[in-house]
A and B are shown apart, each in its own frame.
Chain A
Amino acid sequence: MKYNKNSFKVLSVILAVTVAVIACSKSGTELGGSKPDESGFDKTAMLTNYADNLIIPAYTTLQTQVGLLETAVNTFLSTPNTTNQAALKPVFKETWLKYQNVSVDQFGPAETALLSNFLNTFPTDSAVVEGNIGKGTYSLTSNASINQQGFPALDYLLFNPHALTDFSANAANRKKYVQDVLAALKTRVGTVLDGWKGSYRATFIGNTKSDSGSPIAFLVNQFAFEMDQLKGPRIGWPYGKQSAGVMYPKNTEGFYSGISIALATENLSALKRMFNGNGSGKGMSDYLVALKQQKLSNDVMSQFDKAINSLKAIPDPYPTAMTNNKTQIDAAYREIQILLTLIKTDVASQTGVRITYQDTDGD
């Protein structure tokens, strides 16, 4: 965020002017969308903060990091040995961690591109991945191929126990597959970033309503959705929370590189940064305060810390912890659940947002 200090000042000025203009035009017309809440909170400033200081920088950082990953992958592919694999791992991990920062931004250009589906559907279908490599023909654009690519597929291809052997001989198809997956990933990130730099930024900050399809509704829905993912596929389900204690360690995020908890922790930390607008005074937590929900805002923030700390108490690799650290996992699960409820019910209702991603169809 340091890098943004100057642009932020300029932005504030632009913003002030914009608000003034809106205010002027408002006095003339009766109908219209954007006006400060009766509480005086400036929602346009909040959304601008999200776009310019959180979302767009997060995609930019991810894009840069994907470039670094590409270099490290190519080094490994040209000389697949233990040293290069070991050097690749932290770069790979860092890239996946950077992805966790944008995971919550699954709306607008990311939704059109189905970014989270194509980049992070886990567990990957390793059998189909191997089939694709064997045949040498596959489509990475078909929606049916979401579990054959992205980080989980790379995780399998680069770090499964037999990866080094696999890449050693007759591995042309395999190397090409890795490169194709990485290229597809890079393209999709680029598309989304371009979308934000293009028209979507204005669309996003220009709509301060809370009805379904509005940026505020997107944000609150995504906070809740990510919490559901954390409670379910990231932590709870592999641990047997949906299967009467029968555990599915291979279904964890980052199974082969053994970084599940690191990913989950980063995901939740990113969510916290998004929730409080990175401490700028222009986040959802501040909006709650303006809505006279100081206590709820405080409760959510302190629950974020409890949940993050409880996650940090679980050691990676998660599959091992499932046997050795049950107490810590159970504790983390409880904290996550409390946070989920706070966001999905209390925050949603106070901000007037309907949770829409779970469409419970009556018939």
Chain B
Amino acid sequence: MKIKFTYIALAVAGMAAFTSCKKDKTTPTEPEEQVQPYTVPATYTFTGADYSKATARVKMGAELNSYLGTANNASITATKANDMFDNKNSQFADATLNTSGVTLAEKTSNADFFRGHFTTQATNSMSNNVAAVNGAAGVVISGTTKRLVGATGLESNQAVAKGMMGALYFKEVVKLLSNIGNDDNKAVTNNTTLAQRNWDDAFGLLGIPADYDPDKTYTSADANRPLLWGGYLAERGKEILAGKTIFEAFRKGRAALGGKDKVVVAEQAKIILDKWEQLNAAAALEYATIPTRSVNVGNLATQFHALSEGFGFVYSLQFRQTGSKLSAADYAKLKATFDTNFYTLINEANFTKLVEAQTILKTTYGL
């Protein structure tokens, strides 16, 4: 790892050096486009940086997920879930969210898909006292673990949680960072340019604190703990150094915007998008693998839970960047596998479909 990293660092340094040489020789730029000196801070601390709206949406998503999760032991309603989605009727326990002026719905693609799962989860919650069977909702229990699943074995709350990580947060980041080169980086309002505000917004959607530490183990008691994607940087992204890479790129890119260094901004945006997508794939891969491990075979609670998360993460991958390494044909295969009845998937001899999904994810993303 260390050696590899040094090489990458060298390569990056080389590229930077190379590009700056090129710049000097070939670009007779207007004075305001000249690169200014800038430094990259160790934390995401920049004058005027305000991503409170993104943070509010991250916290809303987390609250909505935990509400849907209570269906395990209580009856829930689609009305309340929809209220949270639309930020109506002050449903959030964190009162600042109720008055934040933003909603999840306004930025979420395929809202009907999610509203459908609110309804399903509410219906399923009426069956949280019966055992699940193929064709009917209920709970699967293993030891102290209890999972509420629908007729096909899917936990609707996981479909929502992980699906929305794609349909809202990642999709927005892709939109913001893919276009960052076209955003105005000159006119300053409240100490920031449009490009800087959009960059900050993208950072906020990651759900990590400004002083994020990729090596720290955050506990659920920590008020500053990473949420949603932020949590997955550690949960499934350790081996690909997702937390370190993405956090560093966000700081570098934001600093480069201040220095009007378009090349570095574009580079960092690409690093973020590629690594984020790889993180999504790594999560999907893990959840395609867990159900096939010998230790989990026969343990429906573990297998269905993993498949439910996998379902959400594969759903999320549809919001990948244009020009992604994952082909439409391979994506269709992944989607078809996770759309399969889970009882069928786990009983398939040799796990043919899941193994195929594992192979696609491994080969495409170098995992």
Contact = CB atoms under 8 A, between A and B. Distances in A.
A146 B3 contact: no
A252 to B, nearest CB: 18
Contacts of B290: 359
A116 B348 CA distance: 17
B4 A143 contact: no
Contacts of B297: 114, 117, 143, 146
A146 B309 CA distance: 25
A196 B347 CA distance: 25
B349 interface: yes
B231 A362 contact: yes
B348 A143 contact: yes
Contact of A141 (B3, B231, B306, B349): B349
B349 A361 contact: no
Interface in A196-226: 211-212, 225
A143 B305 contact: no
A169 interface: no
A116 B295 CA distance: 9
B211 interface: no
A211 B3 contact: no
A142 B349 contact: yes
Contacts of A143: 297-298, 346-349, 351
B161 interface: yes
A26 to B, nearest CB: 13
A147 B69 CA distance: 32
A38 interface: no
Contact of A31 (B3, B298, B349): B3
A211 B298 contact: no
Majority DSSP secondary structure for residues of A touching B: loop
Interface in A74-115: 106, 110-112, 114-115
A357 B298 contact: no
A114 B347 contact: no
Contact of B293 (A110, A115, A357): A357
Contacts of B184: none
B294 interface: yes
Interface string B266-308: 0000000000000000000000001001110110001001100
Contacts of B347: 142-144
Given A143-B298, A225-B295, A211 B239 contact: yes
A143 B347 CA distance: 5
A149 B187 CA distance: 73
Contact count band on A: 20 to 34
Interface string A137-156: 00001111011000000000
Contact of B294 (A31, A106, A142): A106
B239 A117 contact: no
Contact count band on B: 20 to 34
Contacts of B349: 141-143
Nearest to B231: A362
B235 interface: yes
Nearest to B7: A31
Contacts of B351: 143
A225 B293 CA distance: 13
A277 B235 CA distance: 34
A147 B294 contact: no
Nearest to B158: A363
A359 B293 CA distance: 11
Contacts of B65: 363
B70 to A, nearest CB: 13
A110 B297 CA distance: 14
B239 A146 contact: no
Contact of A363 (B161, B239, B348): B161
Contacts of B298: 117, 121, 143, 146-147
Nearest to A362: B235
A30 B4 CA distance: 10
A30 B2 CA distance: 12
Interface in B109-144: none
Contacts of A212: 239
B285 to A, nearest CB: 12
A184 to B, nearest CB: 12
Interface of A: 30-31, 106, 110-112, 114-117, 121, 141-144, 146-147, 211-212, 225, 357-359, 361-363
14 contacts: A30-B3, A111-B294, A114-B294, A114-B297, A142-B347, A142-B349, A143-B297, A143-B348, A144-B346, A146-B297, A146-B298, A147-B298, A211-B239, A363-B69
Interface of B: 3-4, 65, 69, 161, 231, 235, 239, 290, 293-295, 297-298, 302, 305-306, 309, 346-351
Given A31-B3, A117-B297, A361-B306, 11 more contacts: A106-B294, A111-B293, A115-B294, A116-B294, A141-B349, A142-B347, A143-B348, A211-B239, A358-B295, A361-B305, A363-B65
Give 8 closest A-B pairs by Cβ, nearest first: A141-B349, A144-B347, A117-B297, A357-B295, A143-B347, A142-B347, A114-B294, A117-B294
